Every structure is written in structure tokens, then in C-alpha cells.
């Protein structure tokens, strides 16, 4: 038996909302025939596009053959046929819209950060719990092929005792003066909710929590390396938000994690995100899709001598983990998990409280940057 679930999708006219959530997740799930439930029923998601620009909504609906769209969020929330509210708006708009949806009794699934501050993020969590609605937050990187391979290595004991994690994320975002920027200008204005620390520390929180352990303390530094950029309309503006963030996270189990995040870095590594995990028995380097390993037996024994060319090819003694299983789009995988959680109460730990933890880490990072000191991470 087919069951239709109507999903209000607010803010999907943006690049990520369109590509990852609407096209590669919800419409892809529809195309494959829906999500099969334990009782044999099939859940078919029906998107209703919501936004502020009717022209953009109309064009998007026409392009992807979506039947309904609206600029009236309040009326859409009052319609009992609409069961799930999804939010991919700019961060500044998320808290009031999600809170409205919670009060309207809708199940909640939303992008991160869930707010620009921990207090509001936790208010959303408490309100959802009090209302008794299902709720979840996008934590997409957990289902990237590279990180799934990394998780397999952790679970099978490949590393021995893990010592440290080094994460390098980012790429060069053009400033717009001679080449159009490939990210929206609000990302670089603090007053509009922009900043790479609030953006990426939310990711690093769930990656660290789910793969490596609980965070005990951190020290962080942010920077606005490029002070002026050109926006979508060709107008020059001052950058008021951080475009690079450098963090060290001490875990309760003794692992040290370092993550560099930057929109001002040119890529000379295997991917836009690379994680290197070093352990007593082996090391792995994971990108978005691939993962390379070197165990103790294959580890060379270098000797420091800068006066000669190195006799060792440091790329030689690494093995690439084979892709044994098919991998689906990471956003789509989590959407399917949330839909099963909504329909049949499958476990879904990635809720609004987990989203608030990401906001907390970003806030503590900013506090460390401001006070130039280590700060402790307390339980929410």
C-alpha cells in the first residue's frame, strides 16, 4: 500500500536545498518508488515548496515537475495534510520558522546550524520534545563513502589505539572582483548569520562525536582573511564574518583532533575534505569517497636529511580500500532514515539536541577566539 507524506520544504531555492535535498533526495526517493516500511507499505514523499520569492519557486516547481508551492508559510503550516516541515533557509531565519512549525505540530527535519546560538537551538529541542513531534537535523557527512570506510576501520580495530585526527577542509572561493564567487555573499556577513566557524564546527561536532569520542575542551582561532568581496549583484561589500577557522579539540579519551576550515585555501590534497587518522597500528587518510591505509608493517623508516632527495616515495606504501558496497547520496540516506523514523519510529539519534551541540561547539570556538584561551565543553 502506498502512503503519501506531504513535506513542506522551506528554502530549497538555494544551491544546496535544490541539489541535495529536493533533487538528489526527495525527488530521487520518489523516482525509486518511495521508502519501503517494515509492514510492506511504501512511503511516498510529496514536496511542497515554500519560500519568499514566488518567481524562483514557480521556476523550480516547473523545472522539476513539483505540483505545489507557496510563499505563505503560516497557511501551509495550518494545513493538516502537511505532516513534515523541512528548513534549509539562511541560518538567521531558521529559528522562528522551525519554532512555528513545532507549535503547529509538524515533524521537524532541518539543516544545520539550527540557530546562531545555543540558547535558541536548545529551545527548539525542548519545544519539540514538549510538543511530542519527531525531529531531526541533517548530519550528512556521516554517510559519505570515505567516512563510512573510516568507520569500518575503527570498528574492526585497524588503528589500534587512535592518537590523533587531522582534518583539512576548504577550497578557494573567488572574491567576485575578476571571477564570480561560487558561494552566496551572506556567508561572509556576520549580521546575516554568516561565518565558517558557525558553519563547519557544527559538522566537526557530529563527525567527532560519532567517530572518535566526546569532546572535553577546545582552542580555536578564526580569521577574516579577505576583507572585501563582490556580491551576486556586482556590488562590493565588507566581509564581517570569519572565512577561516582553526581548531584543536581534546577528547575525553585522549585523542587530539585538529581541523582547519577555510574558504581561502587552494586545494593540493586528495579532496575538498581530507581526514587523517593516526593510530598505534596504522593510519588512514579519508576523502569524501575514498580511503587509503598504511599499517605498521608497511610503514617506511625515514631518516631526516634535507641535503639529499628523499629515497622514499611516501605515497608508495599505501593501499586503497576497495569499494565493496554501493553508496547512495549521503543526504538521501539520512532522509530515508528520517522518513522511516517518522513513519515507524525507527531509531534516529540525530535530533535537535545533536544539532544544538554543533551550535554550542561553534559558540565555544568563538569564545576561545575572543578570549584567546582553552574552553571546556559542558554537557547540554
Number of domains in the chain: 2
Q: Exposed e or buried b for every residue in 298-321, given b needs 16+ CB within 10 A?
A: eeeeeeeeeeeeeeeeeeeeeeeb
Tell me: do 302 and 229 sit in the same domain: yes
Tell me: do 77 and 187 sit in the same domain: no
Chain-centre distance of CA 6, in angstroms? 24
Per the DSSP assignment, residues forming a β-bridge with 166 are: 258, 276
- Is 367 inside any structural domain? yes
Tell me: do 172 and 313 sit in the same domain: yes
- Is 37 inside any structural domain? yes
The answer to whether 358 and 53 are in contact (CB under 8 A) is no
- Is 378 inside any structural domain? no
Tell me: do 114 and 224 sit in the same domain: no
- Is 377 inside any structural domain? no
Residues listed for the chain: 380
Q: Would you give per-residue pLDDT tens digits along the chain (380 residues)? A: 899 999 999 999 988 999 999 999 999 999 999 999 999 999 999 999 999 999 999 999 999 999 999 999 999 999 999 999 999 998 889 999 999 999 999 999 999 999 989 999 999 999 999 999 999 999 999 999 999 999 999 999 999 999 999 999 999 999 999 999 999 999 999 998 899 999 999 999 999 999 999 999 999 999 999 999 999 999 999 999 999 999 999 999 999 999 999 999 999 999 999 999 999 999 999 999 999 999 999 999 999 999 999 999 999 999 999 998 899 999 999 999 999 999 999 999 999 999 999 999 999 999 999 999 999 999 99
Query: What pLDDT was estimated at residue 200?
Result: 96
Tell me: do 47 and 176 sit in the same domain: no
Tell me: do 160 and 306 sit in the same domain: yes
Tell me: do 212 and 252 sit in the same domain: yes
Tell me: do 185 and 249 sit in the same domain: yes
Q: DSSP per residue over 108-152, as a string? A: EEE-S-S-SSHHHHHHHHHHHHHHT--EEE--GGGGSHHHHHHHH
Tell me: do 323 and 342 sit in the same domain: no
- Is 379 inside any structural domain? no
Tell me: do 69 and 115 sit in the same domain: yes
Domain ranges, residue 233: 141-327+360-371
CA–CA dist 40, 21 (Å, integer): 25
Tell me: do 198 and 98 sit in the same domain: no
Cα dihedral 136, 140, 145, 151, rounded to 10, equals: -60
Does the bond joining 240 to the residue before it have cis omega, within 30 degrees of 0?
Answer: no
- Is 195 inside any structural domain? yes
The answer to whether 238 and 228 are in contact (CB under 8 A) is yes
Alpha helices in the chain (DSSP H): 15-16, 28-31, 54-64, 73-78, 91-103, 118-131, 145-155, 196-211, 330-344, 352-371
CA–CA dist 4, 156 (Å, integer): 40
What CATH number is associated with residue 313?
3.30.360.10
Per the DSSP assignment, residues forming a β-bridge with 80 are: none
What CATH number is associated with residue 49?
3.40.50.720
Give the CA distances from residue 156 to residues 152, 160, 167, 212, in Å, rounded to whole numbers and listed in that order.
Answer: 6, 9, 22, 14
- Is 354 inside any structural domain? no
Tell me: do 181 and 129 sit in the same domain: no
Amino acid at each position: 500500500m502506498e502512503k503519501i507524506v506531504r513535506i513542506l520544504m522551506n528554502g530549497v531555492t538555494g544551491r544546496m536545498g535544490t541539489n541535495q535535498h529536493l533533487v538528489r533526495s526527495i525527488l530521487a526517493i520518489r523516482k525509486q518508488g518511495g521508502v519501503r516500511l517494515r509492514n510492506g507499505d511504501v512511503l511516498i514523499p510529496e514536496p511542497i515548496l515554500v519560500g519568499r520569492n514566488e518567481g524562483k519557486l514557480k521556476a523550480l516547481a516547473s523545472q522539476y515537475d513539483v505540483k505545489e508551492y507557496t510563499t505563505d508559510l503560516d497557511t501551509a503550516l495550518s494545513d493538516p495534510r502537511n505532516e513534515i516541515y523541512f528548513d534549509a533557509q539562511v541560518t538567521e531565519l531558521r529559528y522562528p520558522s522551525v519554532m512555528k512549525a513545532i507549535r503547529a505540530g509538524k515533524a521537524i527535519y532541518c539543516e544545520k546550524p539550527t540557530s546562531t546560538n545555543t540558547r535558541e537551538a536548545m529551545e527548539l529541542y525542548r519545544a519539540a520534545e514538549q510538543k511530542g513531534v519527531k525531529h531531526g537535523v541533517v548530519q550528512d557527512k556521516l554517510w559519505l563513502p570515505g567516512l563510512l570506510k573510516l568507520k569500518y576501520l575503527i570498528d574492526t580495530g585497524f588503528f589500534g589505539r587512535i592518537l590523533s585526527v587531522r582534518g583539512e577542509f576548504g577550497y578557494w572561493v573567488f572574491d567576485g572582483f575578476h571571477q564570480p564567487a561560487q558561494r552566496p555573499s551572506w556567508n561572509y556577513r556576520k549580521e546575516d548569520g554568516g561565518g565558517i566557524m558557525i558553519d563547519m564546527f557544527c559538522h566537526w561536532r557530529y563527525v567527532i562525536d560519532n567517530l572518535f569520542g566526546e569532546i572535553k575542551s577546545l582552542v580555536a582561532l578564526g580569521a577574516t582573511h579577505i576583507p572585501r568581496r563582490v556580491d551576486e549583484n556586482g556590488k562590493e561589500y565588507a566581509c564581517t564574518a570569519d572565512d577561516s577557522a582553526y581548531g584543536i579539540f581534546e577528547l575525553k579519551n585522549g585523542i587530539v583532533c585538529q581541523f582547519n576550515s577555510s574558504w581561502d585555501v587552494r586545494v593540493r590534497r586528495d579532496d575538498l575534505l581530507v581526514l587523517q587518522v593516526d593510530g598505534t597500528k596504522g593510519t588512514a587518510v579519508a576523502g569524501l569517497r575514498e580511503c587509503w591505509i598504511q599499517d605498521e608493517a608497511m610503514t617506511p623508516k625515514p631518516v631526516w636529511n634535507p641535503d639529499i632527495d628523499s629515497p622514499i616515495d611516501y605515497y608508495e606504501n599505501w593501499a586503497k580500500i576497495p569499494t565493496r558496497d554501493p553508496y547512495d547520496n549521503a543526504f538521501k540516506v539520512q532522509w530515508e532514515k528520517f522518513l522511516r523514523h517518522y513513519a515507524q519510529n525507527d531509531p534516529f539519534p540525530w535530533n535537535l539536541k545533536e544539532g544544538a551541540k554543533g551550535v554550542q561547539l561553534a559558540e565555544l570556538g568563538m569564545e576561545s577566539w575572543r578570549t584567546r584561551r582553552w574552553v571546556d565543553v559542558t554537557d547540554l
